[in-house]
């Protein structure tokens, strides 16, 4: 079967980046990994491109997580460096801060989920069908809805808790 | 029908219930029409589902643009080192990484040998023998053009053009004879510039974006200067980009033969500065673990260790610039810089990243088990 890879790319790239972004929490890195995933796909020519792409992307993100300590040190250094620089984008600073805080709250809320629940939720949010999620995660097709129900509820609760704490701090 | 479970409600809300259980949607709708409790639960689950989507929406990558597919194709072709089209199932080449490794070893050994030629031309025969031991080739045949440039670099050498990407040996220019390390430094920069091995895919440039290139700026920092400029630092205070980025593979290069071991002794900062005849350069924000002094040929070397994070140490090796230091001392310095970090990290991690910066009449070599850009950020805070 001949696969139109440019069409797969067009239809999947954004979803893949969104999926990866919520795993590595770095937009540029997510795009880099998404492209690396497509590069590997072009090399391997899988028969089921979409499921294959998300499987490989998840593996790349997992490898990425292994170096998370090293990266955090790196980011901490860069953050220190940025703080030392004059604020040349002062008008949007509040907006950037707000976005950054929201992003951190989402990250922490997702951390409150089990790895399996998180994967299923992110795969669904990236646009995969229940059947594709089941194929990728090894869960039974009938278990996907239950997993999603649990994952969504925990995400909402964890996020609400963080919001309450934020409000309490003022 | 008994009450509906949450999983079924979510599958229904997601439009997937028919895929999971054909015919179930009609039965569920009939039940909900008759069961107020399940109807209320359906609305609750709908709110949770929508809220979860909204929360995840906060984590959208901003300003996402889709690079052209051709850019990814190009990258895929580069990945296999050929012009393979999709569908041809190209196989990765095992010889390409080996070729890279060979070229790096050759270039590193060449840089070392070229510097030695500039440092002590009279001992060229000994150096050539060592070169042959490393590369299996004769330096006169493999490196003749670059060494000729380094040797003959003098008043006729042209000003380096930072916008071009010329041979690093040519970049060394007229100061190569005065500053023996520069030819090798410049060659290392060239190696770093060219040696982006294809075996590290996750860090390749993103297609459609401009890859950050450091080498041209670093090379330009070592461009020839006039005699009138000689009192100024080689690298301006603010020019963080003007750093020589050293390939980690250089740690595998042979140490300079003939030098004795450097004996280090602990000193305080005041003593170190007194012996250096100037300020000890440090990253003030970091805790100082140790300051050690060594004397080589009457010229002081100071090795400072600073704690960056638990288990991560920044090693700074400071000495006067090579212009004011006898040639052998430069060799000792290089060896000391290589030995210092390896003592601690040999088993735990790959070789640490290194940078060299010249400031206030001193050369400081920074080494730490950190990403290169973190090390560069630290170098910018050197005071």
Residues of A in contact with B62 (CB under 8 A): 27, 99
Interface test with A, best of B55, B66, B286 (most A CBs within 10 A): B55
Question: Quick one: B236 and B99 in the same domain?
Answer: yes
Predicted confidence (pLDDT) at residue A119 exceeds the cutoff of 50: yes
- How much is the pLDDT for A66? 66
Question: Quick one: A81 and A94 in the same domain?
Answer: no
CB-based contact, B118 to chain A, within 8 Å: no
The whole-number average pLDDT for the span A128-152 is: 94
Among residues A59, A85, A111, the one where a domain terminates is A85
The whole-number average pLDDT for the span A81-86 is: 46
Among residues A85, A116, A137, the one where a domain terminates is A85
CB-based contact, B312 to chain A, within 8 Å: yes
Per-residue pLDDT of chain B (383 residues), as tens digits, is 678 999 999 999 999 999 999 999 999 999 999 999 999 999 999 999 999 999 998 887 777 778 888 888 887 777 544 444 443 334 344 444 555 566 666 666 666 666 555 554 444 454 445 444 444 444 444 444 444 444 444 333 333 333 333 333 333 333 433 443 433 443 343 334 333 333 333 334 444 443 333 333 333 333 333 333 333 333 333 333 333 333 333 332 333 333 445 678 899 888 888 888 888 988 887 888 899 988 766 778 889 998 887 778 888 888 876 544 444 444 444 444 444 444 444 444 455 677 777 777 778 888 888 777 777 878 888 87
CB-based contact, B86 to chain A, within 8 Å: yes
Q: How many CA atoms lie within 13 A of A154 on its CB side?
A: 19
Contact B308 A33 (CB under 8 A): no
- Per-residue b/e over B128-159, b at no fewer than 16 CB within 10 Å? bebbeebbeeebeebbeebbebbbebeeebee
- Percentage of chain A beyond pLDDT 70 is 80
pTM, 2 dp: 0.42
The total of structural domains in chain B comes to 3
The whole-number average pLDDT for the span A99-112 is: 88
Residues of A in contact with B312 (CB under 8 A): 73
Cα separations (Å) of B213 from B94, B196, B219, B356? Answer: 27, 11, 11, 17
Residue at token pair 């089209």:
B85
Question: Quick one: A54 and A96 in the same domain?
Answer: no
Residue of A nearest to B75 (CA): A39
CA-nearest of B234, B84, B225 to B157 is: B225
Residue of B nearest to A40 (CA): B76
Looking at per-residue confidence, does B373 or A69 come out higher?
B373
For the beta carbon of residue B123, count every other beta carbon within 10 angstroms: 13
Question: Quick one: B218 and B297 in the same domain?
Answer: no
Question: Quick one: B287 and B233 in the same domain?
Answer: no
Interface test with B, best of A67, A129, A145, A154 (most B CBs within 10 A): A145
Question: Quick one: B197 and B110 in the same domain?
Answer: yes
The average confidence (pLDDT) of chain B is 61
CATH code for position A130: 1.10.10.10
Residue B76 lies in a domain: no
- How much is the pLDDT for A116? 93
Facing residue for A156 by CB, picked from B52, B58, B203: B52
This complex has an ipTM of: 0.76
The average confidence (pLDDT) of chain A is 82
Q: How far is B15 from chain A (nearest CA, A)?
A: 10
Max Cα–Cα distance, chain B, nearest Å: 101
The total of structural domains in chain A comes to 2
Domain enclosing residue B20, as ranges: 6-57
Question: Quick one: A29 and A44 in the same domain?
Answer: yes
Calpha distance B170→B148 (Å, rounded): 9
Interface test with B, best of A3, A12, A17, A39 (most B CBs within 10 A): A39
Q: How far is B371 from chain A (nearest CA, A)?
A: 7
Looking at per-residue confidence, does A138 or B375 come out higher?
A138
Domain enclosing residue A49, as ranges: 1-85
Contact A73 B312 (CB under 8 A): yes
Strand partners, B246: B354
Question: Quick one: A134 and A163 in the same domain?
Answer: yes
Question: Quick one: A30 and A101 in the same domain?
Answer: no
Question: Quick one: B232 and B295 in the same domain?
Answer: no
Question: Quick one: A102 and A80 in the same domain?
Answer: no
Facing residue for A74 by CB, picked from B8, B51, B374: B374
- How much is the pLDDT for A43? 86
Question: Quick one: A27 and A54 in the same domain?
Answer: yes
Question: Quick one: B169 and B262 in the same domain?
Answer: no
CB-based contact, A86 to chain B, within 8 Å: no
In the DSSP assignment, the letter for residue B227 is G
Calpha distance A136→B30 (Å, rounded): 33
Interface test with B, best of A69, A123, A152, A163 (most B CBs within 10 A): A152
Residues of A in contact with B382 (CB under 8 A): none
Q: Are B79 and A39 in contact (CB under 8 A)?
A: yes
Among residues A85, A103, A128, the one where a domain terminates is A85
CATH code for position A36: 1.10.1740
CB-based contact, A81 to chain B, within 8 Å: yes
Predicted confidence (pLDDT) at residue A35 exceeds the cutoff of 70: yes
């Amino acid at each position: 079967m001949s696969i139109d890879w440019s069409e797969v790319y067009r239809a999947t790239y954004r979803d893949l980046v969104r999926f990866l972004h919520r795993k590595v929490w770095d937009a540029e890195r997510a795009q880099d990994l998404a492209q690396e995933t497509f590069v590997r796909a072009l090399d391997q020519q899988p028969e089921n491109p979409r499921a294959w792409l998300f499987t490989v992307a998840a593996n790349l993100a997992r490898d990425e997580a292994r170096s998370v300590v090293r990266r955090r040190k790196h980011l901490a250094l860069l953050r220190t460096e940025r703080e030392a620089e004059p604020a040349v984008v002062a008008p949007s600073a509040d907006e950037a801060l707000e976005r950054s805080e929201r992003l951190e709250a989402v990250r922490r809320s997702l951390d409150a989920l089990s790895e399996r629940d998180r994967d299923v939720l992110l795969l669904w949010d990236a646009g995969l069908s229940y059947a594709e999620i089941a194929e990728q995660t090894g869960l039974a097709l009938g278990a996907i809805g239950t997993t999603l129900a649990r994952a969504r509820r925990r995400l909402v609760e964890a996020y609400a808790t963080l919001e309450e704490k934020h409000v309490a701090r003022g | 029908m008994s009450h509906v479970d949450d999983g079924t409600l979510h599958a229904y809300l997601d439009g997937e219930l028919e895929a999971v259980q054909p015919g179930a949607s009609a039965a569920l709708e009939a039940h909900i029409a008759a069961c107020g409790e399940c109807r209320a639960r359906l609305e609750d689950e709908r709110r949770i589902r929508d809220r979860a989507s909204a929360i995840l929406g906060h984590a959208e990558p901003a300003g996402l643009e889709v690079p052209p597919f051709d850019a990814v194709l190009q990258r895929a072709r580069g990945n296999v080192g050929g012009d393979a089209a999709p569908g041809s199932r190209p196989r990765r080449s095992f010889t390409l990484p080996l070729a890279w490794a060979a070229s790096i070893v050759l270039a590193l050994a060449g840089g070392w040998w070229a510097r030695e030629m500039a440092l002590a031309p009279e001992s060229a025969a000994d150096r050539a023998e060592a070169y042959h031991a490393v590369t299996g080739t004769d330096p006169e045949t493999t490196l003749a053009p670059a060494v000729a440039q380094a040797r003959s670099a003098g008043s006729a050498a042209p000003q380096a053009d930072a916008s071009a990407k010329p041979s690093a040996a040519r970049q060394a220019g007229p100061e190569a004879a005065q500053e023996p390390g520069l030819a090798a430094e410049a060659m290392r920069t060239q190696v770093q510039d060219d040696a982006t091995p294809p075996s590290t895919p996750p860090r390749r440039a993103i297609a459609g974006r401009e890859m950050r290139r450091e080498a041209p700026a670093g090379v330009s920092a070592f461009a020839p200067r006039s005699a009138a400029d000689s009192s100024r630092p080689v690298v301006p205070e603010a020019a963080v980009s003007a750093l020589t980025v050293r390939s980690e593979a250089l740690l595998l290069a042979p140490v300079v033969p003939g030098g004795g071991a450097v004996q280090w002794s602990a000193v305080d900062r005041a003593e170190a500065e007194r012996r250096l005849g100037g300020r000890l350069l440090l990253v003030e924000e970091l805790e100082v673990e140790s300051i050690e002094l060594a004397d080589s040929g009457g010229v002081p070397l100071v090795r400072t260790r600073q704690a960056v994070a638990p288990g991560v140490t920044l090693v700074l090796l400071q000495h006067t610039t090579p212009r004011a230091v006898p040639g052998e001392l430069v060799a000792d310095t290089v060896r000391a810089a290589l030995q210092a970090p390896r003592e601690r990290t040999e088993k735990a991690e790959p070789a640490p990243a290194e940078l060299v910066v010249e400031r206030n009449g001193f050369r400081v070599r920074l080494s730490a088990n950190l990403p290169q850009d973190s090390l560069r950020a630290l170098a910018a805070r050197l005071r």
